[in-house]
Amino acid sequence: MKKTSISKVTSALANIIEVISFAIAGFIAISLIALAIMISKGQLTTHTFSNVFTNVQLQYQGGQALFKDGQFNIPGLFVFGIMMIIFAILSGSIFHNIYRIFALDSGSPFSPENIKRVRTIGFLAITLPIAKIIITVIGMLFGVSAFIDISASEFLFGLVALSLSQYFAYGAELEKDVEGLL
């Protein structure tokens, strides 16, 4: 299949977003580990965080980790960090698959690999809002006020991708039938 300008741009942007997403996940993971070590050694306390982050709300993907009773909620920080890591990894994985689909140099777009990639995008897209629900519940167990926006469009995007994977599979069958006729 011939690459078009739009497919080249899409491939490049997907690759850039993929790299940024995984870099964010790595940075946050390293930061959480460093914070856990500093907290365990007594170098950081709730009071230290409260002085630094007075009246601050941390936001990412519609989630919030808030102060609790006027003090910074350290478990909330870790739940929030883990939430950001999960979202960054899922987003990076979605964009990795998009990159791989559009990076196709030649051959049919209906290849078994592309069918699998589109299906994977669908499953990952549906996993994002489910992860939001699970993280909200886990946050409540730790006393974290986490308000996470979940919209029907998130589930719909995943369902559309799963449906497209069926169309790709059908296209592969038609392509195979046409090759058999020649």
Confidence of residue 62 (pLDDT cuts 50, 70, 90): very low
Choose the most confident range, by mean pLDDT, from 10-14, 68-72, 103-107, 138-142.
10-14
Given this model, what pLDDT does residue 20 score?
Answer: 97
Of 95, 61, 67, the C-alpha closest to 81 is: 61
pLDDT in tens, 118-177: 999 999 999 988 988 887 787 777 766 656 677 888 889 999 999 998 988 898 888 888
Is the predicted pLDDT of residue 181 greater than 60, yes or no?
yes
Model pTM score: 0.80
Asked if 73 and 144 count as a contact pair (C-beta separation under 8 A), the reply is yes
Q: Is pLDDT of 33 > 80?
A: yes
Mean pLDDT of 34-60: 71
pLDDT score recorded for residue 77: 78
Q: How far is it, in rounded angstroms, from Cα 182 to Cα 179? A: 5
CA angle at residue 69 from 150 to 59, to 5 degrees? 30
Average pLDDT, the chain: 81
